[in-house]
Amino acid sequence: MKLQIEKAIYGGAGLAHQADGESIFVPFVLPGELVEVEIRPQKKNFEEASLLRVLKDSENRVQPTCIHFGECGGCHYQHAQYPAQVEMKVSILQEAMERAGLKTLPEIQSHAAPPWAYRNRMRLRLEEADSALRVGYNRRGTNEFLAIQECPITAPLLWRTAQNLLRVAAENSAVRRWLSNAAEVEFFTTADETKMQMTVLVRKDQPGLSSLCESMRQFVPELVGAGSVLLKLSGPQRQIQKPRPLESWGTKGLSYQVENEDYWVSRGSFFQINRFLIDELIRIVATNRQGLLAWDLYAGVGLFSRALTKGFHQVVAVEAAGTDLINSFKGAGRRAVESTTVEFLRKAVVQRERPQLIVMDPPRAGVGAEVCSLLARVLSPEIVYVSCDPMTLARDLKMLVDAGYTLEELHLVDLFPQTFHLETIVVLRR
Ligand SMILES: C[S@@+](CC[C@H](N)C(=O)[O-])C[C@H]1O[C@@H](n2cnc3c(N)ncnc32)[C@H](O)[C@@H]1O
């Protein structure tokens, strides 16, 4: 079947319509292209197709860089030249806002950096085949293992470490036996690639991490610490249910420098993954903002909280998993609170604490209805909402707009080049 691709939609596919008007989603295409597809069995309330051939290609189509593109579940846009990827994300964001009923939108400002080798974190699956260890990702759309030989979106140190893990396993049978009990491994590096942490997710509690690390240090001197955690697999999905820490080797985290500030990031703590754009995030969120009191909700290790201390007399940082924050965000004008945002806000509305600025950077699920209604009672003059999911963002923004806020600035920060994921920063005022 031949189809004309109309536009890019959230999730990585392109949208087309069949002759009967039915929507159809096609991966690895670009707006304006004429393609030949094969319809796949209907999955949800829309049709999905496999791309057979591009009959008339877009001027933005390029040769993908990575040999695994198309098979690997990680990237969706390597077939598009980079500026076109950003353009697609801008229109996806615009549409998500409009569909949520947000009528008056400021112009979307986009922010981008080098689109390759940007990830500071890499999580790989481990599998044994013919008594050799292999590393891989999920095959696209499945939980199947796909062995990989490169990953050009990650910092080179991370892939070099993966190769050396395989080398050590090949040369040392005790290490290989221990790693055969491991399901996944995660590497996390500083922006300058001088220090690295490793987490090995194992199926059984067996000692062996230290000898792996001692062997790896010969080839990866940047490795400063590692830990093993117990991975519990449940149901058909490979879900991690509260990984339990087991062995530890070296330091327990990394000191990650951004704009002359050192952030302590323990193994397993959240940290922004695009090493080239973290300073830009801070600039948009915190620069030129000042007042008496600011709240940083969903604060992580305090990335925005620290920057806000430059302009505010007091900064309150709220984080549900707050150990790193409590240890590091101390001193005059700084208060770290280990709490969920909703619990913090329930108390704050009663205590009548009123900040001039609220920054909030929730996980993909967004902040939700109760937080929005509590924010409508706090009535801060300015909210900066940082989001990694345009759909939950649009839903939350509609509630805040209905409560009297207006959207003043809309920034798309492309933290995840080559993928459909996008980061948005919205400035709201009332
Ligand atoms: C997207 S991260 C943002 C972290 C930080 N703003 C940064 O840029 O590094 C979201 C953070 O929210 C925390 N979190 C998740 N659910 C939460 C909740 N209900 N209340 C408060 N924090 C929560 C997570 O532990 C994580 O650190």
Q: Which numbered atom of ligand 1 lies nearest the CA of 321? A: 25
- How many domains is the chain built from? 3
Calculate helix-pair angle for 368-378, 341-351, nearest 10 degrees. 20
Tell which of 258, 282, 311 closes a domain.
258
* CA–CA dist 190, 155 (Å, integer): 10
pLDDT class for 415, splitting at 50, 70, 90?
very high
Q: What is the mean pLDDT of the chain?
A: 94
User: Does some domain include residue 92?
Assistant: no
Neighbours of 262 (CB within 10 A): 13
Distance from the alpha carbon of residue 225 to the mean position of ligand 1, in angstroms? 24
- Mean pLDDT within 230-238: 62
Q: Do the Cβ atoms of 9 and 25 come closer than 8 Å?
A: yes
Calculate helix-pair angle for 390-402, 368-378, nearest 10 degrees. 40
* CA–CA dist 98, 279 (Å, integer): 29
The pLDDT value given to residue 237: 45
User: Does some domain include residue 264?
Assistant: no
User: Does some domain include residue 327?
Assistant: yes
- Mean pLDDT within 35-51: 80
- Using alpha carbons, select from 124, 212, 228, 227 the residue that is nearest to residue 171: 212
Checking if the pLDDT of 233 tops 80, the result is no
* CA–CA dist 334, 330 (Å, integer): 6
Residues 304 and 411 placed together within one structural domain of the fold? yes
Checking if the pLDDT of 320 tops 80, the result is yes
> Which CATH number goes with the domain that contains 22?
2.40.50.140
- Render pLDDT for 164-204 as a digit per residue (tens, 0 to 9): 999 999 999 999 999 999 999 999 999 999 999 999 999 99
Residues 215 and 330 placed together within one structural domain of the fold? no
Torsion from C-alpha of 19, 25, 27, 30, nearest 10 degrees? 60
Secondary structure of residue 60 in the 3-state scheme: coil
Q: Judge residue 223's burial from the number of C-beta atoms within 10 Å of its C-beta, 0-12 exposed, 13-18 middle, 19 or more buried.
A: buried
The pLDDT value given to residue 43: 59
pTM for the model stands at: 0.95
DSSP letter at 363 equals -
- Using alpha carbons, select from 102, 94, 95, 77 the residue that is nearest to residue 13: 77
Q: What are phi and psi of 344, to 5 degrees?
A: -60, -45
The pLDDT value given to residue 29: 98
Q: Give residue 389's domain range.
A: 108-114+274-429
- The tokens 């933005």 sit on which residue? 60
- Render pLDDT for 47-70 as a digit per residue (tens, 0 to 9): 789 999 999 999 999 999 999 999
- Mean pLDDT within 1-22: 94
Residues 241 and 339 placed together within one structural domain of the fold? no
Residues 362 and 418 placed together within one structural domain of the fold? yes
The pLDDT value given to residue 242: 57
> Which CATH number goes with the domain that contains 209?
2.40.50.1070
Q: Is the beta carbon of 299 within 6 A of some atom in ligand 1?
A: yes
User: Does some domain include residue 198?
Assistant: yes
Residues 135 and 171 placed together within one structural domain of the fold? yes
User: Does some domain include residue 78?
Assistant: no
Long-range contacts of the stretch 170-173 (C-beta < 8 A, 24+): 170/132, 170/133, 171/215, 172/211, 172/215
DSSP letter at 307 equals H
User: Does some domain include residue 394?
Assistant: yes
Residues 424 and 359 placed together within one structural domain of the fold? yes
Q: Is the beta carbon of 124 within 6 A of some atom in ligand 1?
A: no
Checking if the pLDDT of 240 tops 50, the result is no
Residue type, 416: F
Residue type, 203: R
pLDDT class for 40, splitting at 50, 70, 90?
confident
- Render pLDDT for 206-227 as a digit per residue (tens, 0 to 9): 999 999 999 999 999 999 999 9
Tell which of 231, 258, 285 closes a domain.
258
Residues 52 and 179 placed together within one structural domain of the fold? no
Query: How many Cα atoms occupy the beta-carbon half-sphere of 87 within 13 Å?
Result: 9
Tell which of 258, 283, 302 closes a domain.
258
* CA–CA dist 255, 259 (Å, integer): 13
Residues 343 and 391 placed together within one structural domain of the fold? yes
- The tokens 């689109």 sit on which residue? 115
Distance from the alpha carbon of residue 269 to the mean position of ligand 1, in angstroms? 10
DSSP letter at 41 equals P
Residues 303 and 240 placed together within one structural domain of the fold? no
Q: Is the beta carbon of 117 within 6 A of some atom in ligand 1?
A: no
Q: Is the beta carbon of 304 within 6 A of some atom in ligand 1?
A: yes
Q: Do the Cβ atoms of 325 and 333 come closer than 8 Å?
A: no
- Mean pLDDT within 24-40: 95
Residues 139 and 207 placed together within one structural domain of the fold? yes
Q: Which numbered atom of ligand 1 lies nearest the CA of 388? A: 1
Q: What strands, in cross-sheet order, belong to the sheet with 423-429? A: 108-111, 406-413, 423-429, 382-387, 357-360, 291-297, 312-319, 334-338
- Render pLDDT for 242-300 as a digit per residue (tens, 0 to 9): 577 899 999 999 999 998 899 999 998 999 999 999 999 999 999 999 999 999 999 99
Token reading at 346: 């329930």
- Render pLDDT for 77-109 as a digit per residue (tens, 0 to 9): 999 999 999 999 999 999 999 999 998 999 999
**pLDDT > 90: what percent of the chain?**
88
Q: Which numbered atom of ligand 1 lies nearest the CA of 301? A: 9
Token reading at 294: 């600011």
The pLDDT value given to residue 238: 45
**Burial annotation 50-60 (CB, 10 A radius, 16+ → b, else e):** ebeebeebbeb
- Mean pLDDT within 125-135: 93
Q: Strand 121-129 relative to strand 132-138: parallel, antiparallel, unpaired? A: antiparallel
- Mean pLDDT within 364-382: 97
Q: Which numbered atom of ligand 1 lies nearest the CA of 365? A: 16
Q: Do the Cβ atoms of 179 and 133 come closer than 8 Å?
A: yes
The pLDDT value given to residue 235: 54
Whose CA is closest to atom 12 on ligand 1? Answer: 298
| DSSP output for 345-356 | HHHHHHHT---S
The pLDDT value given to residue 323: 84
Token reading at 300: 């992580």
The overall longest dimension of the chain from CA atoms, in Å, is 66
**Burial annotation 193-217 (CB, 10 A radius, 16+ → b, else e):** bebbbbbbbbeeeeebbeebbebbb
**pLDDT > 70: what percent of the chain?**
96
- Bridge partners for 412 per DSSP: 110, 424
Residues 55 and 130 placed together within one structural domain of the fold? no
The pLDDT value given to residue 381: 97
Residues 281 and 382 placed together within one structural domain of the fold? yes
User: Does some domain include residue 70?
Assistant: no
DSSP letter at 78 equals T
User: Does some domain include residue 269?
Assistant: no
* CA–CA dist 143, 283 (Å, integer): 38
> Which CATH number goes with the domain that contains 384?
3.40.50.150
* CA–CA dist 392, 372 (Å, integer): 12
